[in-house]
Chains A and B, each alone.
Chain A
């Protein structure tokens, strides 16, 4: 595809359930980011993957959050035991060789 794709576009879950969010980056982009956009916190960095290097997890808010990237392409962000404060839009971005980050449409997560 031409751009970053994310699925699902919307996810409603109950408090305490686990959720998985998926990101397909732009083909050929080796760097991938997850950000979170919420009313209270704005846009904040969560985690970064670059090739086979160890990910930069410094933005993950708690140990309930984890992410992986398989085969250097698709990434999944997993939130365990979801809480209401996890409700937000989760955005994935991939980075070009010119340091430009291109965002996907996001997954809107609602925790009831």
Chain B
């Protein structure tokens, strides 16, 4: 119940295309869903996050779509660029003292020029 399942494991997209990464969870107590971007040799960087009271959040080329009834959320990268090539992690946490993040297994995105 603590798991966050992420797919696909890897993704190749052409420059200008849309990259879509999906995550699913079981624990309905989760109330915060961030996405992180990680480049080799660097720590994860917070990209965008959503709470379950909204179905979509957009920041620039990045959009989170959230389906509470299906317990799924996804990251859409519009107009994908070679500089977006990185590993993306979804995560979830629930309210309480710790708010520790439960991470998905990651998606390695390669955007081809």
A positions within 8 Å CB-CB of B:
4, 31, 33, 35, 42-45, 48, 50, 53, 56, 58-59, 91, 93, 95, 99-106
Contacts and interface: CB of A to CB of B under 8 A. Distances in A.
Interface stretch (B11-19, B39-47, B53-61, B71-79): B39-47
A48 B98 contact: yes
13 contacts: A31-B99, A43-B44, A45-B100, A48-B97, A48-B100, A56-B97, A58-B98, A93-B43, A95-B99, A103-B36, A103-B45, A105-B41, A106-B42
Contacts of B25: none
A42 B98 contact: no
B89 interface: yes
Contacts of B36: 103
A33 B102 CA distance: 13
Contact of A56 (B89, B93, B100): B100
A101 B43 contact: no
Contacts of B46: 100-103
A104 B44 CA distance: 8
B105 interface: yes
Contacts, number: 55
A105 B44 CA distance: 8
Interface of B: 32, 34, 36, 41-46, 49, 89, 91, 93, 97-106
B89 to A, nearest CB: 6
A100 B105 contact: no
Contacts of A53: 97
A68 to B, nearest CB: 17
B57 to A, nearest CB: 13
Nearest to A31: B99
Contacts of A91: 43-44
Given A103-B45, A106-B43, A43 B103 contact: yes
Nearest to A59: B100
Contacts of A45: 100-102
B100 A99 contact: no
Nearest to A89: B43
Given A42-B106, A100-B49, A105 B100 contact: no
